[in-house]
Structure 1
Amino acid sequence: MVFRFDMNDLNRVKNFKVGKMKKKTAAMGILTALILVGLYYYVALPAVNFQETGIWMVLIAVLGVLTAWAALRGMGQKTKLFSLFSALLVLVIVVFLGGMILSSQLISSKKYAGRLKVENKKFETDMKETEKITDIALMDTEGARIIGDRAIGSLSDVVSQYEVSDDYTQIDYNGQPMKVAPLNYASFIRYMTNRKAGIPGYVQVDPISNEAKYVKLKKPMQYSTSAYFSRNLQRHLRFQYPTAIFQGYYFEIDNKGNPYYICPVLKANAGLFGAKDVKGAVISDPVTGKSTYYDAKDIPRWVDHVYDGRLLLQKYNWKGLLSNGYINSVFGKKGCKIATDDYGYRAIDGDIWAYTGVTSVNGDQSNIAFVLMNMRTSESKYYTVSGANEQSAMKAAEGQVQNLRYSAAFPALINVNGEPTYVMILKDKGGLVKMFAMVNVRKYNIVATSTTQNGVQKEYKRLLKEQGIISAKEAAAAESVKTKEITIKKVDFIPIEGNTYVYITDREGNVYKEEFSKNEGAIKWNAGDKIKISYEEDESGIYQITQ
């Protein structure tokens, strides 16, 4: 039998080999693309959600690569694959750009402005009067970090392997304001050596007493934002909720001191991507890894940080700028107002409220109002109060002690006898609290400073009385002032950080003090002299002379 092998057979063999190689090349190209997409997903953790611009970027990049590959595969000829991928690429780009346009404030200004409902309130009646400032949280995050680091500084087994997170969360803990932060792994090496042991505890900082304590957990936290691989909290939650658009990961503790991460979930409310707002939150137990999603209306009462302060400011600015339309916000600007560029906290009735001043779009140095926004529910209250903005008040307070070069922390807003008042701490260069200051909002030339909270409140009311804003009876109502005649046993003049203080010891052993600059006649006092003084008892045990 004779076999004939002509050129047609040879061509068929070549075409078979070429086709097989093309299929292999195509398979390798698709496999490589899938691997690259998988690696990107594992590292970047994008939400698989068409309301997230990141997923569109990935889709456009993948289709762009496949279109280029199909073009090269066809050797410059228009193939079915090239036509398919290029058509899909154009379609995705058109839909993406259309979604961006529909998401813009120009098209959807009413949807942006409608994300925050604000109720008008009267400051003097709705904001409770502050009888004493010793129960107001004045410490800022920077101060909490300094005190928190000290809390674990003496724990050698902890400080060598872990560090306190910089991300302190302001919460209400059983009716008291508190700042909390978890421990973090100090480095990748520390994580690898301690991954089985987990994170042993967290730090609580009391912003009223300026004290911190380390809380050791019965069971360690296994999931953390500082962990790696599958123990990384963001990755753990992404695999549990692949479509969720997370806005942050906020550490909190419940009323029993158990740790949780509160992770707000956003959704777009204008077009595909615009006016993103909280629709719910995932509450994750870092000890067990168990997580539960709650709609915004069903979030447990003990949770505080659902709406981030920056998001609340943004929502107010949407309302303040866009209520009369986008064109008006750019040109006419009728009725336009914005929040100041920072915010503070107030613990009120078991909730944490973010507050900020409201100013006109002209950007002057005064506020026309204040707004309080609940960080759990986003309930908002608007108070029409004109006066100095927060930055001006801080500068006024710093000016009172400019020789000491103290810096003011962002103030809290309180009601003192119906007067809107800023109260704040003054810190040295090391971030330690040295003094307290109170500044009147309407008349920010009324500034009181003192080394104690009771002292600054007393001095502030004295200034209000001098200005005729409150009566002498109102000024004295909150003061536990006593008057008596004493016989001096000893007088000491002690310089403290640029100021001189007079310390008087009477024959009964009681100690009184006052700032020398307020009563220079004290230079004439001697042992054995009898003087009549008014004084206020202080938590330090050293009585503060008022007159």
Structure 2
Amino acid sequence: MVYLLSVLSLTLNPFVWKKHYRKSKFLWIQALRLAAGLLIIFFVSYIGLVDHTWQAFLSYGTLFWGIFLFLDIIYLKERFVAVEMLCGVCLLLFFSYLHFIYPLTVTKAKYDFAAAKTTVVSREKHSMDEQHIPVVPEKYARYKSEKILGELAHVSYYELGHTSLQKIDGQLYWVTPIEYSGFFKWMKSHQVPGYIRMSAEDENANATLVKRAMKYVPSAYFSENLQRHVRSHYKSPILFRPSFEPDETGKPYYVVAYGYYQKLRQIPDIEGVFVVDPKTGTIRNYRMNRLPAFIDQAIPSNVAEQWNDWYGENVHGFWNKLFAQEDIKRPTAWSHSDEVNGVFDHKLNLNWFTDFTRPKSGSGAMVGYSMLNTRTGRITYYSGANGLLNGKSAMNVAEKTFKQNKYEAGIPNLYTIYGQETWVVPLMDSNDVLRELMLIHAKNENVYSAETDKRTLFDNYKYAVATKLGSDSSVPTNQALLKKLVGTVTKVYKYQDSDTRQTVTQFMIQGSEKIFTVTSGQNPYSVFLKTGDKVSIQYIDTKETVSAVKDFTLQSKQ
């Protein structure tokens, strides 16, 4: 039905038709105009996948209709042609107003929209479980995934799609769908072999190929293109950027968020998602309040970026944004990356994270940060982070620490670790190979740990927090404290660490349920520890079962 709009490309003046309809030149011109109208609708509807709504017609149709009306200038001497041209000019002016002036008038409305979704709190009260803190950067995951891709048969047919952080069966993974590398490769294949996943929590894990044939993917063409397939079934909703999401069993799905615009296509709002089985093409429609549990990302990152921009910069309207800049805060802009990063909270809910800085160029401190829940669209803004290191400053600290190695810092993420706002920063070499991991205290950059393995990284950070911030009133009294314990050993377990070539001794002390860990590098006498020995230790007391020993004394032997 949308192609019927192509008649608007014809000359609509009946007096012109009455005088010229017998002339072959006139008919050829009309045929060419009709063909142009059909071609425009094809590109806008089939290629651009624009929604079939009256707002879309106002946004796009007024431009083309105005041009076609103005083209009747060649019949200017005919009756009412001048009126046609005037209507065409009015449509072109309306199009210009709609796209260049009207957006400025709804600046405050955009802020109000984002503010209605936002809750302001002082700081995050819950510490993140270190087991589920991703330490593997996206670049390194893609580096590993490229190696797996290179092992495929007909490897030239495929390339890596967009890599995203996903929760699968309670663990965090980097997930990368395989896509076609071009039109002719799609013609020869008509399905991709699956996707590649790699643990985001274990820096020593390898990427693996999950073999699941997929037909309907974003890089396919014609009816097999994912979004075109969805559009063929649902004409009216706005379709947003799709996300690739395997369920808890590893079965892949594509999630295409949909919604509608407010204020004449200026404010996008998400109302639900279409969940597509990429093998069969089956589409299921879910509203936002009834999302399947396995879906992590219902709000696309580009929509989250817009909402954060509006909340930070549009607070007092357009003129304040341009001149006075009162109360303005700007999200950090990353080069070669999205403005927001995926961060899982202590409940393993995915959030889009971004930190805000002052409008002043080169500011190294944040004024706050936001977490946008990707399933609900609700935003939590943490105002108590004012004065903390921003993400770019954390990257600078990390890169300067390893200046001699010329490592490049990956995109950092902010977590509450042991009650402290902490930047997690991976460092890679020029080949995107992960070399070091850093935890940097967001309030005091001199409190940090840098290691090659996650376990030691967090153990050392506990010690740094407990010792270097011991007099800081911000350190919680129930977490990350250095404590002393004297007692009799009840259980002992020893093993050889293949990386450090040290003997690791784990033991328990009578009256305590904690498992203590000490290495032969810390105290060579620890290798002689056995049940019944009396020891004196200092350790970092946290809520975790396993605690790192910082001072070990073997007082007596059985």
Conserved? CA contact 2:466–2:482, under 8 Å: no
Distance, in Å, in 2 between the alignment partners of 1:269 and 1:23 is 42
- By how many angstroms is 1:432 displaced? 1.6
- By how many angstroms is 1:137 displaced? 1.4
Distance, in Å, in 2 between the alignment partners of 1:451 and 1:481 is 32
Conserved? CA contact 2:73–2:85, under 8 Å: no
| Alignment match, 1:142 | 139
Distance, in Å, in 1 between the alignment partners of 2:537 and 2:404 is 29
User: Mean alpha-carbon deviation: is it higher for 393-402 or for 92-101?
Assistant: 92-101
1:429 correspondence with 2:430? yes
Conserved? CA contact 1:458–1:479, under 8 Å: no
| Alignment match, 1:251 | 244
Amino acid at match of 1:48: H
Distance, in Å, in 1 between the alignment partners of 2:106 and 2:32 is 41
| Alignment match, 1:393 | 394
Conserved? CA contact 2:62–2:94, under 8 Å: no
Conserved? CA contact 1:409–1:426, under 8 Å: yes
- By how many angstroms is 1:283 displaced? 2.4
Judging changes above 3 Å, is the alpha-carbon distance between structure 1 residues 67 and 343 closer, same or farther for their aligned structure 2 residues? Answer: closer
1:381 correspondence with 2:380? yes
Amino acid at match of 2:251: N
1:28-427 mapped onto 2 (5 Å cutoff)? 28-41=31-44, 42-52=46-56, 56-68=59-71, 70-72=72-74, 74=75, 76-80=76-80, 82-83=81-82, 85-100=84-99, 103-116=102-115, 117-123=117-123, 125=125, 128-130=126-128, 133-154=130-151, 156-157=152-153, 159-165=155-161, 167-195=162-190, 198-209=191-202, 210-217=205-212, 220-270=213-263, 272-341=264-333, 342-348=339-345, 349-363=347-361, 364-383=363-382, 384-386=384-386, 387-427=388-428
- By how many angstroms is 1:343 displaced? 3.2
Amino acid at match of 2:318: Y
User: Mean alpha-carbon deviation: is it higher for 204-213 or for 232-241?
Assistant: 232-241
Distance, in Å, in 2 between the alignment partners of 1:482 and 1:437 is 34
**Where does structure 1 lack aligned partners over 5 or more consecutive residues?**
1-14, 485-493, 523-531, 537-542
Amino acid at match of 2:158: Y
Amino acid at match of 1:382: Y
- By how many angstroms is 1:317 displaced? 2.5
- TM-score, normalised to structure 1, is 0.76
Output the aligned Cα RMSD. Answer: 3.9
Amino acid at match of 2:320: N
Judging changes above 3 Å, is the alpha-carbon distance between structure 1 residues 85 and 405 closer, same or farther for their aligned structure 2 residues? Answer: same
Distance, in Å, in 2 between the alignment partners of 1:432 and 1:459 is 23
SS in 1 for 2:450: strand
SS in 1 for 2:145: helix
Conserved? CA contact 2:66–2:89, under 8 Å: no
Distance, in Å, in 2 between the alignment partners of 1:265 and 1:471 is 43
Distance, in Å, in 2 between the alignment partners of 1:50 and 1:319 is 28
Amino acid at match of 1:141: E
SS in 2 for 1:183: strand
Distance, in Å, in 2 between the alignment partners of 1:328 and 1:290 is 48
| Alignment match, 2:556 | none
| Alignment match, 2:10 | none
Q: Deviations over 1:385-434 (max 9, x none)?
A: 23111111121122222222222222232223322111222212221222
Amino acid at match of 1:345: G
Conserved? CA contact 1:138–1:412, under 8 Å: no
Amino acid at match of 2:420: E
> How much identity, in percent, do the aligned residues show?
23
Distance, in Å, in 2 between the alignment partners of 1:382 and 1:232 is 37
- By how many angstroms is 1:483 displaced? 12
Q: Deviations over 1:344-388 (max 9, x none)?
A: 322232421122222222341101222211112112222212311
SS in 2 for 1:443: coil
Amino acid at match of 1:86: M
User: Mean alpha-carbon deviation: is it higher for 336-345 or for 428-437?
Assistant: 336-345
Distance, in Å, in 2 between the alignment partners of 1:378 and 1:163 is 31
Conserved? CA contact 2:486–2:536, under 8 Å: no
Amino acid at match of 1:104: P
**Where does structure 2 lack aligned partners over 5 or more consecutive residues?**
1-17, 334-338, 490-497, 505-517, 525-534, 540-547, 553-558
Conserved? CA contact 1:137–1:208, under 8 Å: yes
Conserved? CA contact 1:102–1:108, under 8 Å: no
User: Mean alpha-carbon deviation: is it higher for 352-361 or for 331-340?
Assistant: 331-340
Amino acid at match of 1:392: S
- By how many angstroms is 1:164 displaced? 2.6
SS in 2 for 1:145: helix
- By how many angstroms is 1:159 displaced? 2.7
Distance, in Å, in 1 between the alignment partners of 2:241 and 2:228 is 13
SS in 1 for 2:256: strand
SS in 2 for 1:304: coil
Amino acid at match of 1:302: F
Judging changes above 3 Å, is the alpha-carbon distance between structure 1 residues 480 and 393 closer, same or farther for their aligned structure 2 residues? Answer: farther
Conserved? CA contact 2:484–2:537, under 8 Å: no
- TM-score, normalised to structure 2, is 0.75
Judging changes above 3 Å, is the alpha-carbon distance between structure 1 residues 94 and 188 closer, same or farther for their aligned structure 2 residues? Answer: closer
